[in-house]
Amino acid sequence: MKKILKISTITIAVIVVLLLIAPFLFQGKIIKIVKQTVNENINAKFEFAEANISFLRNFPNVSVGIEELSIINNAPFEGDTLVYADKAHLSVPFMQIFNKAGEPYSINSFEIDGAVVNILTDENGNVNYDIAKESDAKGPSKPQDQQDETAPQSDQAVSFSVERYQITDSKITYYDQPGKMYFELDEFNHSGKGDLSTSISELDTQTSTLISFEMDSVNYLDKNPLKLDAVIGVDLDQNKYTFLDNKAIINQLELVFDGFVQVNEDNQQVDINFKTPSTDFKNFLAVIPKEYSKDISNVETTGDFSIVGELSGVIDQDHIPSFDISIASDNASFKYPDLPEAVKNINIDARIANETGIVENTYVAINKLDFQIAQDVFSAQAQIKNIMDNPLVDAGLKGRINLANLSQAYPFDLDAPLKGILDANINTNFDMNSIEKGQYQNTKNNGTLSLKGFEYSSEELKNPVAIDNAALAFSAGDVKLNSFVAKTGQTDLSATGAIENLLGYMFNKETLKGNFDLHSNTFAINDFMMASSEEETSSESSSETQSPPKTEQPAGQSSEEEIKIPSFLDATINAKANNVIYDNLTLKDVSGTLVIRDQTVSLKNVTSSIFGGLLALNGSVSTKEAVPAFNLDLGMNNFSIAQSFQGLEILQAVAPIADALTGTLNSSFDIKGNLNSDFTPNLLSISGNALAEALISGVDPEKGKLLSVLSQKVDFLKATEENTRDVKASLTFDNGKVNVKPFSFKVKDIDVEVAGSHGFDKSMAYNVSFDVPAKYLGEDVSKVLAQLNDPNAENMAVPVTATIGGSYTNPTISTDLGSMASELTKQLIEQQKQKLIGKGSDKLKEALGGILGGSKTADSTSTATSDTVQTSKNDQIKNTAGKLLQGLLGKKDKDTVN
């Protein structure tokens, strides 16, 4: 006995060792067989990245594992992927690894994970899945002794004697271009067991997936959950598949069905019947996707609900199966246990049918759809014919709904409960071709729709919206807005107008067109600012890397807020508002025309009272691109300088010195640039030009360090003591820099000329020239001038130049006072020289001597004066005048003040 046990142990050990090393011995052969067999039998390219062999996984069968499997189409779908799978496992009988050439191979089971199958029918009717090669009995062959035993022959067969199979986490798509039909099974999991080695067998299958279906741009199913448990009778000889014991669950609706599908050479024949296994009204709630209907297990229901349908006929290029699906309910109700109200008196009589098998003859008839919530009754009916070609719609709605009762009867996910009364009495008749072509004269609409006392709030809205009254009247292709009175935040609105193509907007995704008259007592821009989502914020961050740097946000504004002009709106609005609040500004008596089109608002003849004057505005604002932009012409008339430069950031950047001025401003601005997300200008992006006229009535140097330092440096410039004066300037700005063309004005009777530039960062580079009358140079100079006994002497003007640099908050000022001394000396000498010409040189010397302090001159009879003496006297004149001016100004010849 011990000997037998020992022999058995050794035998088992040898077998195990052989099973472990066999894959290494046979792997190359098996992989070559798999790849060559498949490629030999298909008109496509079969490939995989890796493969492995296991004798233990499915012992006594051999398991072949393949990773990154793909089947790539040949022409006419050259390069398209028909099938891809992350992993696949095949199980084949152990002894078949010893097969010789010409012997068949069979597959007992297979598993596929992470597959993607793309099935396509192109415009010419070609299908990408027809890749099986036809056998060619007449093809050339090699003599038996020259054939490769490992190479599969053309008559070599692969049979599926499948006992079980499984497909997990996969996706199957089907797109029929001629039929404009798209079908998708996502998150597809399917398994089956049976024996397909015989011509007649049964498969026990389980399937779960998310199903989507679209035909002719109409979406009928969108990732709706589907479960199917089916026992299928398989007749391989007739290609017929019969549903024997089957149950399907769509969303939460359970259906039982039977019938068959038979695949013929030219078409597929279908004969299927289905129905709800019970008539409980919970079946109605089960039709609704679970995320909307919630848990229906404890919902109280009365009455019935049933779906009964049948499909029968053939599927080919010209036909679909005829079908008839009836949906019915009679005097039913439902009530959620946690809600106070019930939906009752529910009556449904609807039918979806096609009696001919021609796609265009499909129709929908909603003969009755009634329900009641509390005291509110609502009813609807509709007939839709020719649904697949040019749908003809005849529908009507009538009733009243208290919106507050909706959330009392149905578990809506709302941030806050709805409020308001909706009254509807509408009839419509139209065909989709007319809507698509904009032929709204072919539509017939009549009736009214009104909403009163509506209140709604959401996290996506900055403030709750309250609509006191909204009334629409329908006639032909037009919709008239007879009244609209609403409030949100500080904003109140009232409007009337007309909508031209409401049906085109609703059914054909067209731009909504209209003309409106809008009135408001207070319109606050901030009430319509929205907080950006994370995705939008990241998108903006990306776009800002390619746009000019963003300036600091105004106080009270969030960098995450933004306004977007609707892309679906094409409207002309004649607007009037008593007050428009934008950031920290309040515009009075605003009126004008706004044209909203292509995500752009065009402003025409907009006027307003602000800063004690009038504003005129024309131009546009656009949010079409990633970075909002504006292009405006502004006219400012009689603006208060102090108010406007305090309230407008752009004026602070263009002329920072004006902060210290009082008076009025008249100006015209031509300006364009980018906007920040809160609609404030991005100063570093703007460009344009301006003509400005300022009537300055006073100066406050304490508000501007530049004027304060300038007054200290040039003490004769006492600007605050002056009367009103007129200043006109022309300037251009671009790339954050303002260039000021030379302009002149007077301070007292001093002529001043200014030219230069400054940046929006308040850096400065200016030259200021003064023509200073000598009388302003101090008491000592006045005494000297008095000795000349010339009434015009004190009106002599001396040029002074100041160079201004640094920044507005930390200026540097340089003056060349030495040139003043030299210029004054020359003018005095020249004036006296001209005055005394003809009176003799003694008179000239005497006069100059008097100016220099009463110095005695040489003998009047002397007719010769040496060059040395004359030079000495000239130097003495200059030095004396220079010292005099330096003393008067209290500065060095050249000084710089920081």
Residues 637-656: pLDDT tens digits?
888 877 777 777 777 777 77
Q: What's the Cα-to-Cα distance from 846 to each of 738, 838, 850, 853, rounded to whole Å?
A: 54, 14, 6, 11
Is the separation of the CB atoms in 357 and 320 below 8 Å? yes
Contacts of 554 (CB under 8 A, 6+ apart): 583, 584, 649, 678, 680
Q: Please tell me the least confidently modeled range out of 113-117, 257-261, 528-532.
A: 528-532
Is the separation of the CB atoms in 469 and 484 below 8 Å? yes
From 610, 625, 645, give the residue that closes a domain: 610
Distance of alpha carbon 187 from alpha carbon 291, whole angstroms = 18
pLDDT tens column, 576-615: 999 988 777 888 999 999 898 888 889 899 999 988 889 8
One-letter identity of residue 664: T
pLDDT tier for residue 898 given thresholds of 50, 70 and 90: very low
Distance of alpha carbon 292 from alpha carbon 146, whole angstroms = 69
User: Mean pLDDT highest for which of 202-211, 703-712, 847-856?
Assistant: 202-211
pLDDT tier for residue 710 given thresholds of 50, 70 and 90: low
**% the chain with pLDDT above 90:** 20
Provide the pLDDT for residue 548: 37
* Per-residue pLDDT at 618 exceeds 60: yes
pLDDT tier for residue 540 given thresholds of 50, 70 and 90: very low
pLDDT tens column, 342-394: 999 999 999 999 999 888 888 999 999 999 998 899 999 999 988 777 889 99
Provide the pLDDT for residue 535: 40
Answer whether residue 665 is part of any domain: no
Higher pLDDT, 849 or 48: 48
Average pLDDT over residues 177-181: 82
Same domain, 398 and 471: no
* Per-residue pLDDT at 484 exceeds 70: yes
Answer whether residue 525 is part of any domain: yes
Provide the pLDDT for residue 278: 85
Provide the pLDDT for residue 407: 85
Q: Please tell me the least confidently modeled range out of 347-351, 410-414, 444-448, 697-701.
A: 697-701
Q: What's the Cα-to-Cα distance from 284 to each of 246, 299, 340, rounded to whole Å?
A: 21, 12, 20
Provide the pLDDT for residue 15: 43
**% the chain with pLDDT above 70:** 69
Distance of alpha carbon 179 from alpha carbon 127, whole angstroms = 13
Same domain, 429 and 471: yes
Answer whether residue 344 is part of any domain: yes
Average pLDDT over residues 162-180: 87
Angle between helix 779-787 and 867-889 (nearest 10): 140
From 569, 589, 610, give the residue that closes a domain: 610
Higher pLDDT, 766 or 20: 766
Beta-bridge mates of residue 354: 323
Provide the pLDDT for residue 557: 39
Q: What is the mean pLDDT of the chain?
A: 76
Q: Please tell me the least confidently modeled range out of 226-240, 606-620, 682-696, 873-887.
A: 873-887
pLDDT tens column, 469-478: 999 998 766 7
Beta-bridge mates of residue 512: 569
Diameter of the chain measured on Cα atoms: 168
Answer whether residue 701 is part of any domain: no
Same domain, 495 and 406: no
Answer whether residue 380 is part of any domain: yes
* Per-residue pLDDT at 733 exceeds 60: yes
Sign of CA dihedral 724, 725, 730, 734: negative
Same domain, 347 and 435: no
Average pLDDT over residues 128-132: 82
Higher pLDDT, 244 or 20: 244
Provide the pLDDT for residue 724: 55
Average pLDDT over residues 849-867: 42
Distance of alpha carbon 885 from alpha carbon 805, whole angstroms = 25
pLDDT tens column, 320-348: 899 999 999 999 999 988 889 999 999 99
Provide the pLDDT for residue 862: 38
Model-level pTM greater than 0.85? no
Same domain, 372 and 422: no
* Per-residue pLDDT at 169 exceeds 70: yes
Provide the pLDDT for residue 100: 57
Is the separation of the CB atoms in 281 and 265 below 8 Å? no
Look at the chain and report how many structural domains it folds into. Answer: 3
Q: Can you give the length of the chain in residues?
A: 898
Distance of alpha carbon 370 from alpha carbon 89, whole angstroms = 55
Average pLDDT over residues 48-64: 71
pLDDT tier for residue 744 given thresholds of 50, 70 and 90: confident
Q: Please tell me the least confidently modeled range out of 250-259, 435-444, 619-628, 791-800.
A: 791-800
Provide the pLDDT for residue 386: 84
Q: Please tell me the least confidently modeled range out of 78-87, 96-105, 449-458.
A: 96-105
Same domain, 427 and 526: yes
Sign of CA dihedral 382, 383, 387, 392: negative
CB environment 446-463: b (16+ within 10 A), e (fewer): ebebbbeebbbbeeeebe
* Per-residue pLDDT at 680 exceeds 70: yes
Same domain, 587 and 486: yes
Provide the pLDDT for residue 892: 39
pLDDT tens column, 817-840: 556 656 666 666 666 666 655 455
Contacts of 765 (CB under 8 A, 6+ apart): 756, 757, 758, 804, 805
Answer whether residue 125 is part of any domain: no
Provide the pLDDT for residue 383: 93
Same domain, 383 and 450: no
C-alpha torsion 247→250→253→259, nearest 10: -40
* Per-residue pLDDT at 64 exceeds 80: no
* Per-residue pLDDT at 154 exceeds 80: no
* Per-residue pLDDT at 305 exceeds 50: yes
Same domain, 312 and 430: no
Q: Please tell me the least confidently modeled range out of 286-295, 419-428, 732-741.
A: 286-295
Provide the pLDDT for residue 27: 53
CA-nearest of 872, 777, 860, 768 to 811 is: 768
Answer whether residue 821 is part of any domain: yes
Same domain, 420 and 399: no
pLDDT tier for residue 734 given thresholds of 50, 70 and 90: confident
* Per-residue pLDDT at 893 exceeds 60: no
Same domain, 310 and 429: no
Question: In the Cβ-directed half-sphere of 645, how many Cα atoms lie within 13 Å?
Answer: 22
Could you tell me the two tokens for 3? 């000997």
Provide the pLDDT for residue 242: 92
Answer whether residue 83 is part of any domain: no
Provide the pLDDT for residue 494: 95
How remote is the C-alpha of 370 from its chain's centroid? 40
Domain residue limits at 486:
414-532+561-610
pLDDT tier for residue 782 given thresholds of 50, 70 and 90: low
Same domain, 392 and 421: no
